[in-house]
Chains A and B, each alone.
Chain A
Amino acid sequence: MINVTHLTHAYRQAPWRVQRQWAGAFLLGVLALAMISALYLDVTAQTAIVGREIQTLQFETIKVQHENADLQTRLATLLSNANMEARAQMLGFRPAEAGEIHYLVVPGYVRPKGVNLAVTEPATSTLATPPEYTQSLLEWFSTYLQPPASGIAGGVLP
């Protein structure tokens, strides 16, 4: 019994073991610090990249808006009254005279009243947040495991 106690005591007190414990703890701390630093660097770098991407996309958005405006104006110029009249004349058309017009009664026809430039889906200023930003790991996992909705692939084609 005395021998066992002595051995245990001797083992615990061994200087090389205490030093190794200290060294291990220190290395663990260094490792943790390195990991945290690496994680921080990674997140920072990714944020910077995404930030640049956002700026690039914003510039792209402006560019596309400009292109849209340009194309719309160009189209309007091509379809302007003067151009259309000139093209019609080139094709041999001329304005109709009163006596040349035949009026037909089309049952059920209702003449359209003015132009409607409203879009079907009103543009919203805030975009929907993608699920990746809101769903938990469990939710993502259950979505991942869920079988795909049966569509044409799983149904009967006509």
Chain B
Amino acid sequence: MKEFSMRQEYAWRSMFVAALLPLFALTILGQIVRIQTSDEAQLFRDQANEFAMVKRTFYPERGEIYDRNGHLLAGNETIYTVGVNIPDMIDASALAREVSAQLGLDYEETYQKLLNPYGLIFVPLKNFVRADELAPLKETFEQMKKDAAAAYRPSALSGLEFQPTLQRSYPENELASNIIGFFNRDSRGNFGVEEKYNDLLAGTPVEAWVPQDPNRAAEIPKAPDGTTLILTIDRDLQAAAEQSLDQALFEYGAHNGSIVIMDPRNGEILAMATTPRLNLNEFWRYGEYYSQSYEYNPAISMQYEPGSVFKILTMAAGLDSGAVTRDTLYNDLGSIVVGEVLIQNWDRRPWGVQDMTGCLQHSLNVCHAWISTSMGQDIFYGYMQRFGVGRPTGVDLAGETAGRLKVPGDADWYPVDLGTNAFGQGVAVSPIQMLMAASAIANDGYMVTPHVLYGMVSEGRQVNIHMEPAGMPIRTETAHILSDMLATSLESEASLALVPGYRVAGKTGTAEIPVNGYYDSSLTNVSFIGWGPVDDPQFIIYVWIERPSTSIWANDTAAPLFSEIAQKTVILLNIPPDIIRHQIAGQ
């Protein structure tokens, strides 16, 4: 009986303990649930979520720039930010000593940066370090790491990191710098193509929340690379033009100059040489070369009085309007009065009876003033506006100037302007404007829009650009007649602009520079515009030289430079001499 009582007691105890244990377990479970569902838990979860995902922006690789033959003009290269991850740092002194010695930094300054990181986890010590500059430090770092690992101890350079990023690189340095522009460290394109097509080149950055937890690894969205651009520029022709320009400026003692070569059939700019040129890999030296932004690419940004090259537009208008014909004779008396102002020839003497070819050949101001006044202001300015004078050409380069064409009704227009404008005074144009206007004469009356973009490549697909003509300011017949007249005038005077084996048309321009409101006859800007071969024009070249000192005349300076460039152009563009071309055509 006693035994039974004891067993019963034990049973009760056991049952009590057995009941207590699940109760305890249930309490724990209840507490777990309570904690998990409490407001504090939610707060912790929210805080954790903030760190679980990181919002990152993925920047696409900037699109490259090629010339028309596939030569890389602007690409990308890896540069590094050298810094120290503070939690991994062991020996600040060793780090400061090695980094400052290898990268040319001040030891004390570097050391203090590492000792006082001001809460930073990663302390950058030097930005924009090129791979070749970094190579010795990287080698030392790897060697010390290897030695430390062999000795089972941490490296003294622990914490040192090299963070790579892409930077713009220009393999051709200063070649075509005025066309390409540059991409600065504020991630902005400046000048030229880099600025004009910045959005295309940059691509579209993609923002995404990236999980820190590898269990939640998600696909990082692919940011498509920026669009690659193919330019109409021919690298070798560009180099040849730049060499010739530099040589000419030296020979003629000139300040600056521009050479633009364009295909008159479609407006593709084949070369555009200007001075001075910036090494694009050292774009931060911009201030050493230019004081004004328009100096970066004067071929599109600088406006000036064109002088006598403008006469081809006046003659085109005169012929097209019917005011004159090729055979119209004009008795040049050496002066003419327009708007009660006396206008004289460049040599201030009469040239007697001249046909229109003679007027062009001898570049007679009086004759051209007579043509413009014969047409009347409405017709003359109507033609000039159709030629695009006084408005931007729309060339796809940043920083183009509009030029200036005063027209009747403007506050600063005077009747004499009708006469002076006819020979390129009192009107302001840029080289590219002059080239666009003259393209109508070279291209059967159709004016083309100058452009540098040949094609675009995006996602592996290439799209080439086809530009429509910008207008037809003159008839085809007029264009042919005027081209022939200009070619004849060059041949008649045995101009230095002639190109052996090729018939070219063109016109010189010597423009006096206005100083304090008066023209200074000792200071000139000289120019030449010409194209060829006359029966099938494949290039049009504009040469402009500022203030040559060896001679103030375009005949002595701009004309031979045109000839030199044209000879290089026909070789580099594989244009056979006229006689061979005609033979081929006859076969």
Residues of A within 8 A of B (CB): 44, 47-52, 54-55, 58, 62-63, 65-67, 69-70, 72-77, 79-82, 85, 95-96, 98, 101, 103, 105, 111, 114-119, 121-123, 125
Contacts and interface: CB of A to CB of B under 8 A. Distances in A.
Interface in B172-223: 172-173, 175, 213-217, 220, 222
Contacts of A44: 215
B134 interface: no
Interface centre among A50, A73, A101 (most CB of B within 10 A): A73
Nearest to A123: B460
8 contacts: A52-B217, A65-B61, A72-B75, A82-B173, A98-B500, A114-B230, A116-B462, A117-B70
A74 B171 CA distance: 8
Interface centre among A74, A103, A121 (most CB of B within 10 A): A103
B464 A114 contact: yes
B217 A50 contact: yes
A52 B166 contact: no
The A interface, classified by DSSP as helix, strand, loop or mixed, is: helix
A30 to B, nearest CB: 16
Contacts of A54: 214, 217
Contacts of A95: 571
Contacts of A65: 61
Nearest to B463: A118
B462 A51 contact: no
Contacts of A116: 462
Contacts of A98: 500-501, 567, 570-571, 577
Contact of B75 (A49, A73, A103): A73
Interface in B440-465: 454-455, 457, 459-462, 464
Contact of A96 (B235, B454, B571, B577): B571
Given A69-B61, A73-B72, A98-B571, A121 B175 contact: no
A115 B70 contact: yes
Contacts of A123: 459-460
B116 interface: no
A117 B462 contact: yes
Contacts of B239: 81-82, 85
Nearest to B75: A73
B206 to A, nearest CB: 11
Interface in B522-576: 567, 570-571, 574, 576
B276 interface: no
A114 B67 CA distance: 9
Contacts of B228: 117
A77 to B, nearest CB: 4
Interface in B71-112: 71-72, 75-78
B571 A70 contact: no
A74 B459 CA distance: 23
A73 B77 contact: yes
A65 B217 CA distance: 21
Contacts of A52: 214, 217
Given A70-B78, A72-B75, A117-B462, A77 B171 contact: yes
Given A66-B166, A73-B76, A81-B175, A114 B216 contact: no
Nearest to A111: B574
Contacts of B462: 116-118
B570 A48 contact: no
Contact of A72 (B72, B213, B454, B567): B72
B584 interface: yes
A5 to B, nearest CB: 32
Contacts of B570: 98
Contact of B222 (A48, A66, A105, A125): A125
Contacts of B230: 114-115, 117
A70 B72 CA distance: 12
A81 B170 CA distance: 12
B145 interface: no
A69 B75 contact: yes
B211 to A, nearest CB: 8
Given A74-B77, A98-B567, A103-B577, 20 more contacts: A44-B215, A48-B214, A52-B214, A62-B164, A72-B72, A73-B169, A76-B72, A79-B71, A80-B172, A82-B172, A85-B239, A101-B571, A103-B580, A105-B587, A114-B230, A115-B66, A117-B66, A117-B457, A119-B460, A122-B461
Nearest to B62: A69
B75 A76 contact: yes
B161 interface: no
Given A76-B171, A111-B574, A117-B66, A55 B459 contact: no
A137 B275 CA distance: 72
B236 interface: yes
A79 B70 CA distance: 12
Nearest to A117: B457
Nearest to A121: B460
B69 interface: yes
Contacts of B215: 44, 47-48, 51
Contacts of A67: 78
A118 B61 contact: no
A115 B576 CA distance: 22
Interface string B392-423: 00000000000000000000000000000000
A118 B587 contact: no
A58 B235 CA distance: 37
B68 interface: yes
B76 A69 contact: yes
Across chains A and B, which 3 residue pairs bring their CB atoms closest together, nearest first? A51-B214, A51-B217, A76-B72
Nearest to B69: A115
B149 interface: no
A70 B220 CA distance: 23
